[in-house]
Structure 1
Amino acid sequence: MKTVLLVDDEHAILDALSGILADEGFRVVTAGNGREAVHRLREETPDVALVDVMMPVMDGRELLREMAADDRWKNVPVVLMSAVPLSILNREAPVACADFFQKPFDLWKLIARLRELAGESSH
């Protein structure tokens, strides 16, 4: 069973997505912000991460940089999600992630992409 780290500050999204991903065969570890996600990463390395961009404490881009700088997590594929288009986010600072989904997104395309990325993971 592949593990997905799901990071979002909106509890309704965390609850809904974690339930759906679990129903689809993923083991789901959740975090409410980037800082909490770092604590989860220290406990275990997931196969893939699904991370919201706009969050308090530590946003998704900061988390992505932390993961890229750490040998334990730099190979974990990260899918970012945001209501803000990627073209706007890239104006502020280029975002290097495995994929990006703009909210609202096609749930089944997201699940297929997470499966694909989790299968490509090096652990």
Structure 2
Amino acid sequence: MTTLVVVDDESLVTEVLSFILGGAGYEIHTAFNGREAISLIHRQRPALVITDLMMPVMSGLALAKAIRNDDGLRHLPVILCSSARDPVKLEERPLFDAIVRKPCPPDRLLELVAQLVGRSAAGTNAGAP
């Protein structure tokens, strides 16, 4: 089963995303800020991370930077899911494999996750044991 990590400080968001993604056959682990997510990512070795932007303790932007600066994680696909209109600066966009606006239609999110998980399995070490 493919493992994903969902990071958001709003429990309703993590519950909804877990329901949608879990219903599609993914194993979901949740964190409520970037710092929790980093620890969870190292333990679970997910195939993909979906993160909010604005969170206490460590933001989604800081989380993405930490992932990209870690040799063992840098190829891990990261989706930014934010309600902000322009959540990141142009030069920060490469930190994310995709940026979607909340609320993201479930079909679109599932399609995006499938594409990115397939890509990571085919050409990088993301999600590898």
Root-mean-square deviation over aligned CA pairs? 1.4
Tell me the amino acid that sits aligned with residue 50 of structure 1. Answer: I
Residues of 1 paired with 2:4 and 2:43: CA distance? 13
Kept after mapping to 1: 8 A contact 2:48/2:77: yes
In the alignment, what sits opposite 1:116? 115
Q: Does 1:95 align with 2:86?
A: no
Residues of 2 paired with 1:89 and 1:43: CA distance? 28
- Alpha-carbon offset, residue 31 of structure 1: 0.5
Runs of 5+ consecutive residues of structure 2 not aligned to the other structure: none
TM-score, structure 2 length as denominator? 0.88
In the alignment, what sits opposite 2:71? 71
- Alpha-carbon offset, residue 16 of structure 1: 1.3
In the alignment, what sits opposite 1:51? 51
Residues of 2 paired with 1:3 and 1:48: CA distance? 7
Kept after mapping to 2: 8 A contact 1:52/1:82: yes
Which stretch of the first structure deviates more once superposed, 102-111 or 28-37?
102-111
Kept after mapping to 1: 8 A contact 2:3/2:44: no
Residues of 2 paired with 1:3 and 1:116: CA distance? 14
Runs of 4+ in 1 over 3 A off after TM superposition: none
Runs of 5+ consecutive residues of structure 1 not aligned to the other structure: none
Residues of 2 paired with 1:43 and 1:77: CA distance? 17
TM-score, structure 1 length as denominator? 0.92
1:29-40 aligned within 5 A: 29-40=29-40
